[in-house]
Amino acid sequence: MNNYPMMHHMPHMHHKPHMHHMPRTIVVNPVDTCVVETLMSHIGKVVILETTRGRIDGCVVDVKQDHVVLDQRHKKFFVRIAEIVWIMPE
């Protein structure tokens, strides 16, 4: 007899993936090039933006593909391009 403990073979158990680990949903808004170009042509000028949350006015200081930065009396506002309904230069 050997001094090794006897190994019992367990049947292989298949584990089901955890159902609570759902894949994350990522929302991607397409770039609205016309709105971005319009805002870029107004950098340094005051505009009024109608957004889905209301109206805001200010000087356009920066424009990115997904947002515009307005300066309203030395306060910066970052407005998502996807939320803009219309633009009116002042």
Confidence band, pLDDT 50/70/90 cuts, at residue 29? low
Q: How far apart are CA 48 and CA 14, in angstroms?
A: 61
**pTM (two decimals):** 0.67
Domain boundaries, the chain: 33-89
Phi, psi values for residue 89, rounded to 5° = -65, 145
Strands of the sheet containing 84-89, edge to edge, are: 75-80, 67-72, 54-63, 46-51, 84-89
Which CATH class, in words, describes the domain spanning 33-89? Answer: mainly beta
For 35-90, write each residue's pLDDT tens digit.
999 999 999 999 999 999 999 999 999 999 999 999 999 999 999 999 999 999 99
